[in-house]
Structure formats: structure tokens, C-alpha cells
Amino acid sequence: MERPAWAPRSIDITVPSVSRIYDFYLGGSHNFEVDREAARRAMEFLPGLPKIMQANRAFMRRAVRFAAQQGIDQFLDIGSGIPTFGNVHEVAREARPDARVVYVDHDPVAVAHSQAVLEGAEFADVVAADLLKPREILDSPQVERLIDLNRPVALLLVAILHFVEDADDPCAAVAELTAALAPGSLLVLTHASYEGIPTSAERAGGAVDVYKDIRNPLIMRSRDEIARFFEGYEMVEPGLVPMPRWRPETAPEEEDPYAFSGIAGVGRTA
Ligand SMILES: C[S@@+](CC[C@H](N)C(=O)[O-])C[C@H]1O[C@@H](n2cnc3c(N)ncnc32)[C@H](O)[C@@H]1O
């Protein structure tokens, strides 16, 4: 298989990655046949997966605009993925031209492509790091340069925590990040869940099995389990809801039922 110029030498292009599968669902071009094959297998069980991802991105953009309207001008986006249409720095800077953004991902393709997109930008950067090592993120030169932790930050954990198993204690990582944030900071989060999926849990489980097969388990959590990530936060209205129901900006259109799979919420530190 030919290795395109954007694929770092360090990656095995015969092994699927969740960031490239996600890129495929969103119609991007930074994915390989192994990624498309895994995505298509998952879509046999959940044909609406691209709709879920679009609802996730649409929520993320609304939440970034909300944060900017609340006066927040610094964004820490962990599990930021491969840049696509409407990235956090674009949405944030439309609302606040002075906004600064640090992206974080552990996937080399996501990091390399973010570096390419951000080349020469003084207001945004990317860190190659793992959510499970919050200190590496918080102490990175990129965060030190761009983010003042004495002022409110919007921490984005969008469609990442469902890739962290309970054994790796995702709540502890979120709590460590939260402890570093100034009062008035926001946590913007989405998470996969069986709640709201317009098909049986058994059928949706077929898609979950595809992620298990590629050794990137997808952990479906209940609303109550997802609420635990918000320890120390006050929920912003309307609380934890299906993604299209979080502060829609236009009159509700006929949404694809799949868009209501997955849960979104924003919390504020006191
Ligand atoms: C589904 S994508 C979400 C991208 C973006 N946040 C969005 O919602 O559009 C999940 C991203 O999380 C990254 N990721 C998963 N586990 C991670 C971890 N432990 N540390 C850092 N990044 C992680 C993956 O590499 C992938 O790029």
C-alpha cells in the first residue's frame, strides 16, 4: 500500500485507527482502506453512524460559540481528532478573534494534520499526548504558551471518553484536569450511550464489537455514568441531553433519529 505524504512514518497503515474511521464517517480524506472497511462493518449494524458524528460536531460548534459568548477565550480540546470542516479554532475565532486553542491527541495522523493546518498560527497549537497523562498536557510548552490557567478555560472532551475503559479510570484523569482549571471554566463533553439509539442494544452491540475487534473498545455508558465526569461542575441548562437538544440555534428540523444517540452536556466550575 502506498503511504501518502500526510501519513507519518511511525504509523502502521494496515491497522485501523478511531480518528481515521471518524474522519471517514465525516466525509474526510485522511483514512485508509482498513479504516473504511471497519467503518462499513460498524455501519452494517448502525447505518446512522455518520449522522451521529455530524450531530456530535454540530453540538461541539454550538458549545464553542456558547463558551465564547460567556467570555471564554481559551480552549483546550483533548481528543481533537483529524482537522475537518468547522474546527474549534475557526469557530472560536469567529466569535472571539483573540481566542487561543490547544489541540491534544495521541494519534500521530491527527497530530501531523493539525500541525499542517496550524502552520505559522500564533494563536493555536497541538500537543501529542494522552488524556490519561494530564500532567503532560498541562505542563506542555504549548499550554504554557497559549493558555493562562488562572483564567477560565473551555475544556473539550468531545467523543473521547468512550474510548477510555473503566480500568484506566477516566474519572481520575478528568478530575486532575478539572483541578487545574480556574473558576468559571467549562467542561464540554459528548459520550456514546445505548440510551436514545433508534435500534436494539443487541444490534448496536454489533457495531461496538467492531471497535473491540480493532482493539479500540468503544465503551457505552449510561446517562448516570456520564454524569460522574461532571463532579465539581454545575450543569449548564439544559443539562445532559441528546446532542441535538443542547441549545439548538435554529428551529428544530426533522432530525434523523440516529442524531439522538449519544449524550452531550456542558458544566461550569464554581
Ligand atoms: C471520535 S474522535 C473525536 C474528534 C473530535 N473531538 C470531535 O468530536 O469531532 C476521538 C479522538 O480521540 C482521540 N483519543 C482517543 N483516546 C485518546 C487518549 N487516551 N488520549 C488522547 N487522545 C485520544 C482519538 O485519537 C481520536 O482522534
176-192 mean pLDDT: 98
Give yes or no for a contact between 256 and 203, defined as CB atoms under 8 angstroms apart. Answer: no
Summarised one tens digit per residue, pLDDT across range 105-163 is 999 999 999 999 999 999 999 999 999 999 999 999 999 999 999 999 999 999 999 99
Summarised one tens digit per residue, pLDDT across range 20-30 is 999 999 999 99
Model confidence at 254: pLDDT above 80: no
213-242 mean pLDDT: 97
The pLDDT value recorded for residue 252 is: 66
Is the pTM for the entire model greater than 0.75? yes
Summarised one tens digit per residue, pLDDT across range 81-120 is 999 989 999 999 999 999 999 999 999 999 999 999 999 9
Model confidence at 55: pLDDT above 90: yes
Rg of the chain in Å (alpha carbons): 18
**Ligand 1 center to residue 159 CA distance, Å?**
6
Q: Give percent of the chain above pLDDT 90.
A: 92
The pLDDT value recorded for residue 255 is: 82
**Ligand 1 center to residue 79 CA distance, Å?**
3
* Ligand 1 pocket check for 73: Cβ under 6 Å: no
182-201 mean pLDDT: 96
**Ligand 1 center to residue 83 CA distance, Å?**
11
* Ligand 1 pocket check for 60: Cβ under 6 Å: yes
**Ligand 1 center to residue 72 CA distance, Å?**
23
Model confidence at 52: pLDDT above 70: yes
Enumerate the H helices of 87-244 as residue ranges: 88-95, 108-117, 134-138, 141-146, 170-179, 201-213, 223-227
**Cell of residue 18, nine digits:** 478511531
205-226 mean pLDDT: 96
Q: Is the dihedral of CA 214, 215, 216, 217 positive or negative?
A: positive
Give yes or no for a contact between 134 and 157, defined as CB atoms under 8 angstroms apart. Answer: no
Question: Can you tell me which atom of ligand 1 is nearest the CA of 21?
Answer: 1
